[in-house]
Amino acid sequence: MAVNRSFNFIIKILIRSRHVEKVLIPKTDILVSNICLGTNVFGWSADEQMSKTILSDYLEKGGNFLDSADKYVDWMPGNKGGESEVMIGNWLTETGNRERVILATKIGKLPTRLGLSRANIFAAVDDCLRRLQTDYIDILYAHKDDQEVPLEESLVAFNDLMKSGKVRYIGASNYTATRLDEAILLSEKLGIASYVTIQNEYNLLHRLKHETELLPVLKKHGISAIPFFGLAKGFLTGKYQPNVFSDSIRSETVKVYENDRNWSIVDNLTRLAIKKNSSNAAIALAWLISRPGVIIPVASGKNLKQLNEIFQEVNLTSKELDDLTKY
C-alpha cells in the first residue's frame, strides 16, 4: 500500500510484517496494521462461521486491528445489537488470540444503551467486555456526540474507565470538527485523558467535511483519523452500475452516492485498477491512506474474496494519486 506522504504533524512508524505495514497511532503506544478490519458485516452479510474465517485469515495476512460497536448489527430483524462483538469474542476465546489483536469498539448509539451519560457509559462498556470475552478494550469510541450530556461528564467517565484498566484509549466517532476541538480542549483543561483519534466517513466520494473542517483540528492537536466507509459502502469497488443495483444487502443504502460525478470517479478508479492489475478496493484504500490527517482506514469484507481485494498491495505514483483526487 502507498505510504502516507503528507504528514508533517504526525510521525508514522512502519514495520513490514507479511507485506502489511504496521503504523503507530499518534499519542498512543498502539502499533496497528495499515488496514483496520471493520466488523459491521458480522451477523449481517457474514454469518458466525464466515466471520471467524475472515478473522483468522485477516490475522494470517498480518492484520491486527478490529473495529466493532455495540450497535452492530441491531438493524437485522431478530437482532438486538452486540452480535458482531459476540462473534469476535467467541473467536478470541476459541483461538486464544486476544493479545495478538488491537480491539476497538464503540458505544452510545445502541437504542438500549443510548447516550454518553456516566451511568450509561459504564454499563455499556461492561456489556461490551462481556460480549467480547475480554477484560479490556484498546480503543473505546463515543459512537456519536451526545449534546444532552455535559462533555465533562462523559470525558471524566472515559478517564475513570482508563484508570480502572478497562479501556486503554478513547476516540470519537461522528463528531463535528467543532465538538472534537471542544472536547480535546476540555480534557486538557481538566488534566484528563482526551480523544486520540476520530472515526468519521471519508472516501473518494465524501471529502468536504474532512478536508475543510476536520483536518485543521487534527493538525492543531496532532491526532489522526481512522475513517469508516473507505469504500463508500462498496460503491467504489465497481460492483454497481448506473441505474442497475445488485441484490446486495447494501444495494439500497449505496444509492445515496449515485450521481454523475461519483460514477466518473468509479470509472476512473476502475481504469487505474486495470492498469495496476489491482482491485478497485485496494486503489481506493491506498488513496485514502495517502490523504492528510489519515493514519489508516477501516474496511470490511463479507467473504475471503473481498478480504483479499482489500489486502492487495499496490503502489501509486504522485500523478496517479493526483488524478484520483482531481474530481
Helix (H, G, I), strand (E, B) or coil at 10: coil
Kindly report the backbone phi and psi dihedral angles of residue 110, in degrees, each rounded to the nearest multiple of 5, phi listed first. -65, 125
Spatial distance between the Cα atoms of 22 and 35, rounded to a whole number of angstroms: 9
Grid cell of 271 as nine digits: 481504469
Neighbour tally for 6: CB within 10 Å: 12
Distance of CA 45 to the CA centre of its chain: 18
Of the residues 58, 72, 195, 240, which is catalytic? Answer: 72
**277-297 burial: b if 16+ Cβ within 10 Å, else e:** ebbbbbbbbbbbbbbbbbbbb
- 240 classed as catalytic: no
Spatial distance between the Cα atoms of 143 and 110, rounded to a whole number of angstroms: 9
Strands annotated E in 150-308: 167-173, 197-199, 224-225, 298-299
Active site residues: 72
